[in-house]
Amino acid sequence: MDTRFSQEELVFRDRVRAFLQAKLPEDIRRRTLRGLHLEKNDYVRWQKILYQQGWAAPNWPEQYGGTGWSATCKAIWADECARAGAPEVIPFGMKMVAPVIYSYGTEEQKQRFLPDILASNAWWCQGYSEPNAGSDLASLKTTAARDGDHYIVNGTKTWTTLAQFADWVFCLVRTGGPEVKDQQAISFLLIDMHSPGITVSPIRTLDGYPEVNEVHFDNVRVPVENRIGEEGRGWTYAKVLLTHERTGIARVPQTRRRLEDARARAAETGDGGASLLENPVFAQKLAELEIELIALEYTELRTLAAVNTGQAPGPESSILKIKGTEVAQQVDELQVEIAGYHGMPFVPEQFREDFGGTPVGPDTAATSWLRYFNNRKASIYGGSNEIQKNIICKAVLGLGG
C-alpha cells in the first residue's frame, strides 16, 4: 500500500498549476469563486483554451482526443482546477454523451459528433427525465415512431439543464409498443435542438435562475442515422452513461475549496467580540465536515485505484454520489450560517460585473444562501440519493426485493 503521489505525479501537478496560473482568465475565475452563474460564453471560452492545450477531455480515450492521463493524474487535474477557480466542465457533451458515442456509435457518428464536442463547438443537453418519469426513468413516455428513414418524436422532457444554450440533445425515447417490456422498448437518439417542433420552456430554480427547462417535442423528425446502436438497446447504453456520470460526482475538490473558503470567511466574521472561527460549536462542525471529506476523498481514491487496474466503477460509486452530495450540502449550510443575516437579501443586480453600488453585507454573503437553495438539487439529480441507496441494497448488499 502506498498512498503518496509519485515523483512524476508531483511534476505533473506543478505543470498543471503553472498552466492554470497562466491561462485561466481572471474574470471567469472571479465569477466562479464568487459562486455566480456563468454565461455560455464563459464556459466555451475556457473550454476552448483547454482544447488548444489538448486537455479538453481527460476522460476520453487518446484516439479520440483524450489526454492519456492515469486516473490519479485526472484526480490531480480536477483538484487543481477546483483550487484555481476554473469553471466546471458542463458534463452533458464531454462526460455524458461522448462516452456513449465512442463506445457504441458508428464510425460515421464518431467523426460527425466527437470533434465538435472536443472543440466545444456544440453544446449538448440531456433528455432523460419526464414529468412522470423521474426516479422511475424506465417508465418514460416520449415516443419515436418510425416513418421511413426518420423517427417522429413526440413528448416532453424535463429538468433539462441549460437547454436554452443547447445545439443538441441526447434523448431516451420509446420505440417499442406497449407490449414490449420497458427496458427493451427504449432507444437512444441524438436530436438537433434547432429542429422544427422543439420548444424550450424555462423553469426557475430556487435561486431564481432559469437553470433547467422543459423541452417539448411536437412531431419532430429525426433521421434514423441519429440513433446510437440498436433500436431497443438505449436503456443499456444509458446505464453505462449513468455510471460515467457518477464517477467524479463525489466533487471532493470543489467541496474542499468551499470548505477552505468557509474557514477563511469564518475567521473574518465577528461573533460577539471574537471571530466565528473561534466559536467552539462552529469550529467543531467545520472539523467534523473536514474529517468526513477526508474519508470521502480516500473512498474515491480507492475507487480510482480500482479503475486504474482495469475494474469498471461499479455500484460502489453510489457511495460517492450520496456522501459527495451530503457533504457538499453541509458545507453549503455552513456558508449560510457564516453569512447569517447578510445572506438574506435578494439583490440580483449586485451579482453583475458592472455593479457599481455598495453591496449589502460582505461580498460573498449574498450568494451563499442562493447556492444553498440551488444545491438542494444535488441529492435529487443523477439518480436521487434514495435511488442510490436502493442500488447499494440490491447490487452490493444482496438485499433483493
Measured distance CA(295)–CA(299) in Å, rounded: 6
The three cell numbers of residue 264 are 477563511
Q: Contact between 351 and another protein (CB under 8 A)?
A: no
Among 30, 204, 239, 302, binds another protein (CB under 8 A): 204
Decide: 196 and 220 in contact? Cβ < 8 Å: yes
- Active-site annotation holder among 9, 245, 290, 300: 245
Among 10, 386, 396, 397, binds another protein (CB under 8 A): 386
Q: Contact between 376 and another protein (CB under 8 A)?
A: yes
Among 67, 120, 129, 164, binds another protein (CB under 8 A): 129
Taking alpha carbons only, the member of 155, 262, 268 closest to residue 215 is 155
Measured distance CA(266)–CA(196) in Å, rounded: 52
The three cell numbers of residue 173 are 425515447
CA distances from 154 to 142, 174, 218, 324, 396 (A): 6, 10, 5, 36, 37
Binding mask 259-298 for another protein (x = CB under 8 A): ----------xxxxx--x--x-xx----------------
Q: Contact between 395 and another protein (CB under 8 A)?
A: no
Measured distance CA(161)–CA(396) in Å, rounded: 31
CA distances from 185 to 140, 181, 222, 235 (A): 10, 6, 18, 8
- CB nearer to another protein: give 148 or 270: 270
- CB nearer to another protein: give 162 or 220: 162
Q: Contact between 136 and another protein (CB under 8 A)?
A: yes
**Would you tell me how many other CB atoms lie within 10 Å of the CB of residue 326?**
15
Distance in Å, CB of 358 to another protein, minimum: 8
Distance in Å, CB of 271 to another protein, minimum: 5
Is 179 noted as a catalytic residue in this protein? no
- CB nearer to another protein: give 117 or 334: 334
Q: Contact between 139 and another protein (CB under 8 A)?
A: yes
Place of cell 461522448: 98
Query: Angle 85-90-93 (CA atoms, 0-180°, nearest 5)?
Result: 150
What is the three-class DSSP state of 2? coil
Q: Contact between 360 and another protein (CB under 8 A)?
A: yes
Element spanning 154, H or E: strand 150-157
Place of cell 433539462: 160
Interface with another protein (CB under 8 A), residue total 52
Among 89, 125, 198, 212, binds another protein (CB under 8 A): 212
The residue ranges that bind another protein (CB under 8 A) are 129, 132-136, 139, 158-159, 203-206, 208, 212, 269-273, 276, 279, 281-282, 336-337, 340-347, 357-358, 360-361, 369-370, 372-374, 376-377, 379-381, 384-386, 389
